[in-house]
Structure 1
C-alpha cells in the first residue's frame, strides 16, 4: 500500500474493504493528486477511478484541515451521482467527513439542510452549480469559500459538446468565488487524445499548473487485438434478435444496448412476449421507473435489461454475464464503455455479442471492430466557437453578481479563450437587444432577458440544451415517462395506444394545457416515437473503416456463418462503390450520379459547400456520398477540383438548424450562423479527400 495515504484511509482500505493492495492506476494517482496537480485518470469501466481520486483527496483534506465544502464531485447524469453517493459517503465517513448530493431531483428540504450544514464533498452537476451561483437563496461566496478541488467524472461525456464549454466557464467563475485556483481532476474511460483532454480540462490554467495523465492500465499490448470475447452475428430483424436473446445465455444477466429509445421499447415488448424477465432504461422513462428497473435488475439473476446509452456510463447495475449490442454504436469509445460492463468477476472475460439487423449495420459493426482491434479510439474535441454559451454566461454572470463593470466582465473567466475580449460583439448585441442594460459603467440583467429566460427564477439559463417538447404519461398518479406529442395528434382508428416501459397502454385522457396524458394497461398495439432520436453522424475514420470492410478487411473476432454470408453479399452489392486508391464517382441504378467519398458527414458537408456548382441542389449528401448533377463530365470534374482544396467553404446553414443551439436568440444572426457552420465543417478531412484521386466510372 502507498505509504503517503493517510493512515486512517490505509487502515480502512485494508481492514474495511479487505484490499491487499491498490490497482496500478490507483497507486499511480496518489502522488499527483495528493500534490495538488491537475490530473486525468484513465481506466476501463469499473477500473476503480472513484477510489483513485478520493483516497488521496481525503488524505489532503485531513492533512491540510480543509473545512466546509472543499471538494466538488461533478458528473453528467443525476442517476450516476445517486449511484455513487453511498460509496463516497462511506469513504468520507472514515475520516469523520460528510458527503451530500444536490441536483434537480433532490428535495427542497434536503437542499436547505445542505446549505445549513455544508458537506465536505458535494456530488452535483455543472447545471446545479450554475443554479447555486445565480440563486438569490444561496450565499455562494460563503458556500464555496473553502473549495479546493473539483472532480469531473466521465469527463469525456462533457468535453465533446456544449456542456463542456459550460463546465469550463462555471469552473472559472468558481475559482474567482473561492479566491484560488482549483485542482481539476478528470475521470474517463479510454480516449484517443488524453493529453489534449487534460489541457482542455485545465481551462485558463493550461500550461501554468502541473498536470499529469495517469493511465498505466491503458498501455497497449505489444501485438494482437485487445482482450475480449467478441462475436459478430446477423439476424435481419428485431423479431429475430429477440428470438436469439431469448434462446441464448439462459440463467445469465444480460445487458442489451440499442441505438434509439424506440428500439429499446420494441425489443423490450418482444422479449416480454417470449417470457423473458425484461427491464428497460432510457432517458424518456421516469426516474422512478428507471430506478425500479435498475434495482430489480441488480437483484435478479436470469434476466435482461434493454438500454440506450444511459447505462453506458458508470451506473452500477451489479455483475453482468453478457453484453449484447443491437447494430453498432457510433463510436469506438462507446463500445469500450459497454464492453467494460462485463468481465468484472474473477475468472470471467469481457464479452459482447453484436446482433445486426441489416447489411449496412453489419458492415458498420465490422468496421467498428476493425478500429477497436487496432487500438484506435476517437479523440474528444470541444465544438468550436461556442458564442451562444458566451451569451448564456454573460447573463448568468450578471445574475450572479447583480451588476458587473462593463470593462471588468472579461476577468470573470480568467482569460479562458472564447470568454475574453473576442466576446465584445456578443456583449454589445446583448445590450442593444435589451438582454443586458448598461448604466454608469455597469451591466445588469435587462427586460428582454427577464421576459425570455426569467421563468422559475431563470432556471432555463442553467442548462445549455433544450429538449423537444414531450408529454408526460401517467397511470393514476404514477409517472411512466414522456412521449413525443405527435403520437397524440395523428389520426388513429380505434383506441390510441402507446408503448412505454416495454408495455402497451391505452390513452384515456389528454390534458393539453399541462402536457399530460393518462393511460391504462392494454394487451398490445402500442407505439413509441421520439423526435430526433436514433441516428448519429459517423466520422471520417469510421467511414473509411467501412470502406476497408467492403474491400474485404475482416475484424479479428468470431463471425457467425450467417454474418459471413450476408457480409459477402453486401461486399458484392457495393463493390463498384469502393476503390483502395481513392474515391469513386458512379451512376447508380436509379440514374443518380454519386461521389462515394466515405469521408463522414462533416467532411461531405464541407465538400458540398465547396463544389456547389456540381452538387445536386435537392438531395445532396450523407455520411458516405455526395449526389452530383447528372450532366457532370469527367473533364469538368477535373477542372473544378484542381484547386478546390485551396478554396474550401464552410457549409451553408438552414435557419431551422439554428434552433439546435440554445440561446441563439441572444446572438446576432450572423454569429449564430457562423457558429453552426463551423461545427458542420471538417476542413482537414475535406482537403484530404480532394487530395485523393477520383475514379470517374460513369457509363
Structure 2
C-alpha cells in the first residue's frame, strides 16, 4: 500500500475508514503501477473498481498526466451512472475530475466536457465511436493524453460483437494517442481468464507484460491433487412451483420484511409477475430494457431506499449496479449460463455475517431440468469460457467505414495500419474493402478512400448514428401517458386483432391505448384496472450449450445437484426422470423410432449449435425439414442401422457448417456491406460447433424401435 499516492492513502484510511485493502486491491497495485495489462477477476462486490482506480490515480499524480488520460468503459449506461459518484470522489481527493459521456448526456454537458477535459471519462464503446467520427470533437486533441483504459465487466463484451467493436475502437484510440495504452479488464469469474486477457490486449498480445489477478481462485496449499472440490459457498434452494402465478404466491408468502431481487428470463415475465405481486399487496418495482430511463431510475432508487419490497428484473440488474442492502435473490426458472448465476447470487451476502443465497422457482419441467443442470455444473466449479464470435467480417466493414468518417479520407494501402494488424481488421479485410468500393459504400480517388453515396444512403441518418452501434434493436413503439414516457412495446401488440379496447401491460400496470401515431411510432395510453398484455420480440430463445445440455442428461440419469431441493422439486424431478428414461442411456446416445414409425430422433444431448452442425454434416440421412433443437437431431424415417453406419463412418473428418437462411442475415448488422457469400459464411461459422460435433460422432449410438 505504501506505493499508492500519500494523499490517496490518507483518504482511504480516514475518509473511507478502511483499515486495509482487500486481497485483489493489494495484489493489483504493483502490476498496475508498472504498466502491466491485467484482468482483475473477482466475484461481485469485491472492490474491482477501486483495485483499478487507486493505482491509476496514483500513477496519474506521480507522472503528472494531463488531459483525459484514463477511460473507464462499461457495457451499460446505468452502470456508468452508478459508478460516477464514486470515481468523482476518488479523483477529487487528488484535485482531478471525472465525467460521464453516453447517449443520455445533454449537448450542454458535452460541450462543457470538451472545454474542460476530465482526467477520467466514463463512457461506452458506442459513445467512443461517436466521438471519433463526430465533426464536433477534435479527437486528436481530446484523446491525445490517453494512458490507460479500464474495461468493466469485460466478459460481457468479449462474448459478442460489441467486444470486437471495442477492440477495434481501442486500436484506433491507441493510434490517435500515439502511444501504447495500458488495458485493465474487470470481470467476474470466467472459465478462461488467460484467454480473456490475451483477447483484451488486442494487437499487443504477446508483446506487452500481462497478468491475471484472481486471489479468490487460488487453491489452498494443503489441497491434495485430484481432490473433489466442494460446492461453492452459498445457500441455494431449488423449488418447483408450476406457474408464474404460483411463483408470485410463494414470493408474497416468504421472506416478509426482506428486500428481494427477482430475476426473470423475459420482459413479459417481469411485467406479469410484477402486476401479480402488486395485486397481492407487495411493494414491487420493475426493471427491464423496454422501460423508460426515468421509470427504471425511479424504481431502482425507490428499491434502494425501501426495506420490505421486491424488484423484478431481467438481466439489466445482473451487472454491478448498486441496489442497496439486498437480502435475497430469487430466480424464475434458470439463467442461461453459470456466469450469469454467479453474477446474480453475488448480489447477496454483502453484509457481515450474511451468506450468498438464491431461491430457484421453476415453472415447468424444462425450467426444472435447466436449473438442475446449471446448478450441477456450478457445484463442480465450472464456468463457461468467454469466446469471441468467429469471423466478424461485418464489424470489419463497419470499422472501415467509421475510420473513413473519422479521418475523412484514408490511403487505400494504409487503412489496415490503424488496427495494428489485429486479425479480422488487418490485411484479411482487403476483399471487404474492394466490395465496399465496388458497391459505392466507399469512393476511391487519387489513392485515397472516403465515404461514398451508398454509405450515406444506408447509414447516414442523423450524422451516421446507425454506424456507431454494432447491434440491431427490434422495432418498438414508444408508450406515452400524456408527456410522460413509460417505455416501449412490440408493434404487433398494436396491430393484432383484439376483442374490445386495446390494453397494454407496461411498468407493472395496465394501460388502455387511446391514440396511435404510426408515423412517429408512438402510442398514447391512459391507466386502467387490469386486462393489459405484455409482448416483445425477443429474437428467439437462447441456445443451450453443449456442457449444459450434457449436464441435463446427467441429471436425468440420476445426478442431483448438491443444493436444497423442496419436496415439490424432488417429486417433479423424479417424475421427469421416469418420463424421460427412454431418451437417455449411460452407455451412449439413442436413436429412437416412434410407435408409428414416422419419426426418428437421434438424442445427442449436445446443444443447439452442435446439433445444427451434425444435421449439416449428415445431410444425406437427416430430415431436411427439421428445426434446430438442443437435445436431438431428427433423422429420415426410413433410416436403417446399416445406412447409419455407412453415413457416419468418417463423418468426424468431414464436418460441414450449418446451412444459413438468407433471411437470417437481417439480424447481422452491417451484413449489407458484405458480399452475400461472406455474410452467409460469417453466420454459418457462428452457428457451428465443430469440436463437439466431432466428439458426438465418436460416441456409440443405439437404435431403439417402439413400433409394435
Is 1:71–1:149's contact at 8 Å kept on the other side of the alignment? yes
Q: Name the structure 2 match of 1:307.
A: 313
Q: Name the structure 1 match of 2:698.
A: 691
Deviations 1:134-179 (A, max 9, x none): 0000000000010000000000000000000000000000000000
Aligned to 2:185, the other structure's residue is in SS state: strand
Deviations 1:641-668 (A, max 9, x none): 1111011000000011111110011100
Q: Pairwise mapping of residues 147-546 of structure 1 onto structure 2 (< 5 A)?
A: 147-219=146-218, 222=223, 223-532=229-538, 535-546=541-552
Aligned-pair CA distance for 1:679: 0.3
Aligned to 1:697, the other structure's residue is in SS state: strand
Q: Name the structure 2 match of 1:52.
A: 51
Aligned-pair CA distance for 1:368: 0.4
Aligned-pair CA distance for 1:534: 6.8
Gaps of 5+ in 2: 224-228
CA distance in 1, matches of 2:476, 2:340: 27
Aligned mate of 1:607, from 611, 614, 632: 614
CA distance in 1, matches of 2:288, 2:319: 13
Q: How many residues align?
A: 698
Aligned-pair CA distance for 1:533: 5.2
When residues 442 and 635 of structure 1 are mapped into structure 2, their CA distance, relative to the original with a 3 A threshold, is same
Aligned-pair CA distance for 1:697: 1.0
CA distance in 1, matches of 2:431, 2:623: 37
CA distance in 2, matches of 1:697, 1:638: 15
Aligned-pair CA distance for 1:603: 0.5
Aligned-pair CA distance for 1:619: 2.4
Aligned to 1:295, the other structure's residue is in SS state: helix
CA distance in 2, matches of 1:636, 1:209: 54
When residues 220 and 621 of structure 1 are mapped into structure 2, their CA distance, relative to the original with a 3 A threshold, is farther
Q: Name the structure 2 match of 1:653.
A: 660
Aligned mate of 1:576, from 578, 582, 605: 582
Aligned-pair CA distance for 1:361: 1.1
CA distance in 1, matches of 2:692, 2:530: 48
Q: Name the structure 2 match of 1:662.
A: 669
CA distance in 2, matches of 1:190, 1:508: 48
CA distance in 2, matches of 1:177, 1:641: 54
Q: Name the structure 1 match of 2:36.
A: 37
When residues 283 and 459 of structure 1 are mapped into structure 2, their CA distance, relative to the original with a 3 A threshold, is same
CA distance in 2, matches of 1:289, 1:610: 49
Is 1:620–1:628's contact at 8 Å kept on the other side of the alignment? no
Is 1:320–1:341's contact at 8 Å kept on the other side of the alignment? yes
Is 2:261–2:311's contact at 8 Å kept on the other side of the alignment? yes
Aligned to 2:705, the other structure's residue is in SS state: coil
Q: Name the structure 1 match of 2:553.
A: 547
Deviations 1:51-84 (A, max 9, x none): 0000000000000000000000000000000000
CA distance in 2, matches of 1:690, 1:435: 44
Is 1:472–1:516's contact at 8 Å kept on the other side of the alignment? yes
Deviations 1:506-541 (A, max 9, x none): 000000000000001010010011112572111000
CA distance in 2, matches of 1:415, 1:404: 16
**Is 1:109–2:108 an aligned residue pair?**
yes
Q: Name the structure 1 match of 2:226.
A: none
Is 2:595–2:705's contact at 8 Å kept on the other side of the alignment? no
CA distance in 2, matches of 1:217, 1:52: 14
Q: Name the structure 2 match of 1:96.
A: 95
CA distance in 1, matches of 2:242, 2:624: 34
Aligned to 1:227, the other structure's residue is in SS state: coil
Is 2:290–2:487's contact at 8 Å kept on the other side of the alignment? yes
Aligned to 1:542, the other structure's residue is in SS state: helix
Is 1:72–1:122's contact at 8 Å kept on the other side of the alignment? yes
**Is 1:567–2:573 an aligned residue pair?**
yes
Is 1:339–1:352's contact at 8 Å kept on the other side of the alignment? yes
**Is 1:635–2:634 an aligned residue pair?**
no
Aligned mate of 1:616, from 619, 623, 635: 623
Aligned mate of 1:592, from 594, 599, 619: 599
TM-score (norm. length: structure 2): 0.98
Aligned to 1:156, the other structure's residue is in SS state: helix
Deviations 1:412-460 (A, max 9, x none): 1011001111111000000000000000000000010011111111111
Is 1:608–1:620's contact at 8 Å kept on the other side of the alignment? no
CA distance in 1, matches of 2:190, 2:540: 23
Aligned-pair CA distance for 1:201: 0.2
Is 1:234–1:362's contact at 8 Å kept on the other side of the alignment? yes
Aligned-pair CA distance for 1:587: 2.4
Is 2:284–2:311's contact at 8 Å kept on the other side of the alignment? yes
Gaps of 5+ in 1: none
Aligned-pair CA distance for 1:589: 6.0
CA distance in 2, matches of 1:50, 1:104: 22
Is 2:594–2:705's contact at 8 Å kept on the other side of the alignment? no
Aligned-pair CA distance for 1:614: 1.4
Q: Name the structure 2 match of 1:126.
A: 125
